[in-house]
Every structure is written in C-alpha cells, then in structure tokens.
Amino acid sequence: MPTATADLPEGALVEMRGITKLFGRTRANDQIDLTLRRGEVHALLGENGAGKSTLMNILYGRCLPAAGEIFIRGVKTIIDAPRTAIRCGIGMVHQHFLLVQAFTALENIILGREPLKRGRIDLRRAQAEVAELARRYGLAIDPQARIGDSSVAMRQKVEILKALYRKAEVLILDEPTAVLSPAEVDGLVEIVRELALQGKSVVLITHKLKEVMRVADVCTILRNGRRIATFPVAEASAAELAEKMIGHRLPVAPAAATAQRGPVTLRVEDLYVNNGSGVPAVRGLSLEVHAGEILGIVGVDGNGQSELVEAIAGLRRITSGRVVFRGRELTNKRPREIIESGLGLIPEDRQQSGLVLDLSVAENLVLKDFRKPPFSWRGLLDSRAISTFAREIIRSYDIRPSDEDIRAAALSGGNQQKIVLAREIARDPELLVAVQPTRGLDPGSAAEIHGLLAAHRNRGRAILLVSFDLDEAHYLADRIAVIFQGRIVGILESAAADNLEIGLLMSGGGAG
C-alpha cells in the first residue's frame, strides 16, 4: 500500500519512525525509531518487557501501532498482517516455532507456496529449490526428516529456510539462541553471518550481551518501551552495553533493616532442575537465606530463576540436590506440604499462577487455606467466615474496589497483586519467595508492596526476592546473589554492590 516516499538514510531497507504501541495504560513502545540497512545484523537489546518483541511484531504485521510510520525501501507501507509483511520481504522466526509436526522439513518449507505441476505439488522442483537455498546460505538440513523427529536447531534452520523460500530480505529472529546448546549457537552465528554477507538484513531480538558482541554490526537498546541508543557494536564494550540496557542508576539506600540476621531458614544444596523441555536449567545451584533478611536473586530472565522457584515450591521435580527448610528436608515434597510447613510464594505471573481470575476476591484470598477452619468445617465452606476474613484483608491492605464478591479479573493489576501479597503475608510464612513482585505496577503500588515486603522481613522472616530490576533488588535486598546459567555466580552485600559489577556477572562476563 504505497502512499508516500521519504528521504531515507542511504541503504535503508526498513525505516520505522515514531512507533508507539499501548497495551492498556502501558506504553510498550514509545516513539521508537529504527533503521535497518541491507546486509546488516542489527541487535535489538533490552530486558524483558523493554518492548523488543512488540516492535518486531509491529514490523511483522502481528499488531498495528497506535502511532508511527514504516517505510520499506523508501515507500510508506501499512503492514496490517503477516502476509503483507511477507509480501514486503520480511520474515520472522518466532521463539516458539510454527511448524507442522507431522510434515517433513520440505513440506513445512513450501507449505502455502507449493510449486504446482498440473494441479499437483511438484515435490521434485520444490526439493531442488530448497536444496539450492540451503546450499547458498549454508543451512544443512534433511528435507525428508519429519519435524516431529527433528532437533530444535534443525527446526530453527527449517524456519529460516521457510522465510528465505518466501523471498525474505529481512529476517527477524526472536531470541534465537534461547533454545540452543552452545555448539548450536556457534552454528547459528555462522548462518547469520552468511546471510548478512549475501545481502540479507537480520534483526536479532536478544537480551544476551555476548551474542550481540559476537555477531551484530549495529545495536539498538530499548528500555521501558523507549529507544535508549543505537550504535555500532564495534565501538562499545560489554560493560557499556550492560549499563545502557539496565540503566545508569545510582545506588539507592536500602530500606532500613531493623531485624537481626537470624539462623538459616532455607538452604539449597547443589540443586539440579530441568526446564519444560527436559534440559537442565538449574545446574548445581546452592544458596542460603537467613531469617530476617531479604536475599535478592538478580539475573537475566531465563537463567533458571523460574525453575529454581518452582523446585523450591514443589511444583517442579528436582533431579538432584536438596532443599532444606528450617532443618527439614523438603526436596520433591508435594506443594501442599511445603506450603503447610511455612512457604509463601508470590509467583511471577499473578494472572496465570497467583490468582484464579474467574473466582471472587474472597475465594482467591482463601486459596491456600479454604480446607481449614474457620473457612470450612468437614468439607463445607463457611462463606460467612470467608467474607469476614476477606473484608478485613481488603480493608487493611486497601484493595480497591472494596468488594469481596467481584471476580478478581475485574481488578487492576496493582490490586490483583495486592490480593496475592495480602494472602501470602497474612499467612505469615517463615519464608516468602517473591518473584518480580512489582512487575508492571505503577510507582505508587510498587512502593506499597516494597513496604509490605520490608515489614515482613523486619518481623524476622526470610524473603527470597527474584527480580530482573536491579534498582528493586538494591532497594530491598540485604544481599544480592547473581544467577547465570543456573548457578549463583556471585553474592554481594547489597550496600557494597556496584551495578556495573552486577551487570557483568549477569551476562556471564564475571570471573566465574
């Protein structure tokens, strides 16, 4: 849909200008500019929720921006659907591959674009074309292998070939290394270089500094939906990238700790836990959390944080190692038993894991205790006792609107999080595990939640705080543990910790 042309930087293949995208009240993208030149590997670097994927989903036509323009080869284009993007020569390889399991690699590549001969698929021609593409870009695949039987790296190559077969000039790779082994990453790096060498432009969505340094020519850093900087990678160091990604932050004075650090509440010893695909995500992790302290775990998402938390809570099998809670072995015990022995959990995703959105506020507040008096007797719920308790909690935690009977889905994110927090803190757990407790909340709600967590610590309880936000970790935690590739690679006293040092540890750039 060409409507206007514009003056473009030389060699620009894609030019995005002033892209803004709103999700509710959150600005996922705020006035972002991005220029993509021919033959360039452009890294899009940023923390989770920085707006990288949103920006690329806009370029790929998966969603429409609220404001902003896109120029393809100098022509203003409205990309309203992925098929428009494909027509413009844009291809995207998603983090979760979109392949038909029962089809062969070849069938997947040509799906929807089958060459025909007298109304029938000309498999011979298809195979020749795909083989030629594969040879040209060094993408070795077995075209007859069923996708369901293929390795992840192979599927990724098939996805890339699929895009190339559709004549993509721009290839967007969304977190392409998240699923690969180190050797497979090496292979991918070579493929990306070869693609660029032959004039294709590659956008690499990532939060891994090393990859950027290794393969990208240009890097654009996003933070909180804004573009922070764009510069040639050759001119930057890993430390600079880390600082720009996380933000130049002054250390904040930690919330006053009035409690003495007490005995060890939680001890994790040499823990190994697999992720959903059976790959070890936690690899020999050990840590201790004391009563009366907040231990902050910081790190880039995907380094084993969620697996660690789920393993502690009994929701994921521990393959080896131990979890000892107040001297009691809790390795691979049932979640209920772990909860009863004094673990509170504020999960990362309140809407998926913390709350049953379709149940009422009151019902959510008793999710962990509905089996016990006074909320039930011999299997019969006491709705009056539940309501009384809920009204009390709603009042003391100032949850709005103050109506215990409405569905939890009807509340704002901040108030939903308060339900989770109130439920967990009201149970007065010996150990509270809080994952990203202020994610997506406005500063006011975040401050309230920080206050509640600090108060819990000051009552002499232990808190394990998992955060991607260094400021938050600094502000709340007494000690900071950096997690990288399933291990703790450094523990620092929060007061003495320096953001730069943490940033380097987080990206595997530390001595460990």
Q: Which residues bind another protein (CB under 8 A)?
A: 20-25, 62-67, 313, 315, 334-336, 339-340, 345, 347, 352-359, 363, 367-368, 370-371, 376, 379-381, 383
Provide CB contacts within 8 A for 81, sequence distance 6+: 61
Q: Which is nearer to another protein, 259 or 339 (CB)?
A: 339
Q: Which is nearer to another protein, 17 or 125 (CB)?
A: 17
What is the DSSP code string of 10-56? TTEEEEEEEEEEEETTEEEEEEEEEEEETT-EEEEE--TTSSHHHHH
Q: Are 357 and 351 within 8 A, CB to CB? A: yes
- Distance CA(157)–CA(108), nearest Å, equals 11
User: What is the smallest separation between the CB atom of 190 and another protein, expressed in angstroms?
Assistant: 35
User: What is the smallest separation between the CB atom of 22 and another protein, expressed in angstroms?
Assistant: 5
Q: Are 183 and 137 within 8 A, CB to CB? A: no
Q: Which is nearer to another protein, 96 or 248 (CB)?
A: 96
> What is the identity of the amino acid at 121?
I
Q: Which is nearer to another protein, 316 or 474 (CB)?
A: 316
What is the DSSP code string of 284-306? EEEEEEETT-EEEEE--TTSSHH
Q: Which is nearer to another protein, 333 or 456 (CB)?
A: 333
Q: Are 127 and 143 within 8 A, CB to CB? A: yes
Give ∠ CA 127-129-131 in degrees, rounded to 5: 65
User: What is the smallest separation between the CB atom of 293 and another protein, expressed in angstroms?
Assistant: 24
- Distance CA(467)–CA(434), nearest Å, equals 8
Length of the chain in terms of residues written = 512
- Distance CA(212)–CA(484), nearest Å, equals 17
Q: Which is nearer to another protein, 325 or 475 (CB)?
A: 325
Q: Which is nearer to another protein, 348 or 478 (CB)?
A: 348
- Distance CA(420)–CA(215), nearest Å, equals 42
- Distance CA(240)–CA(224), nearest Å, equals 18
User: What is the smallest separation between the CB atom of 312 and another protein, expressed in angstroms?
Assistant: 12
Q: Which is nearer to another protein, 136 or 336 (CB)?
A: 336
User: What is the smallest separation between the CB atom of 66 and another protein, expressed in angstroms?
Assistant: 4
- Asked whether the bond before 182 is cis by omega within 30 degrees of 0, the reply is no
Q: Which is nearer to another protein, 55 or 473 (CB)?
A: 55
Q: Which is nearer to another protein, 245 or 463 (CB)?
A: 463
User: What is the smallest separation between the CB atom of 343 and another protein, expressed in angstroms?
Assistant: 10
User: What is the smallest separation between the CB atom of 315 and another protein, expressed in angstroms?
Assistant: 6
User: What is the smallest separation between the CB atom of 28 and another protein, expressed in angstroms?
Assistant: 9
- Distance CA(209)–CA(204), nearest Å, equals 12
Residue 318: HSE in the Cβ half-sphere, 13 Å Cα cutoff: 25
- Distance CA(131)–CA(267), nearest Å, equals 54
User: What is the smallest separation between the CB atom of 130 and another protein, expressed in angstroms?
Assistant: 31
User: What is the smallest separation between the CB atom of 418 and another protein, expressed in angstroms?
Assistant: 16
In SS3 terms, 304-362 reads as CHHHHHHHHCCCCCEEEEEEEECCEECCCCCHHHHHHCCEEEECCCHHHHHCCCCCEHH
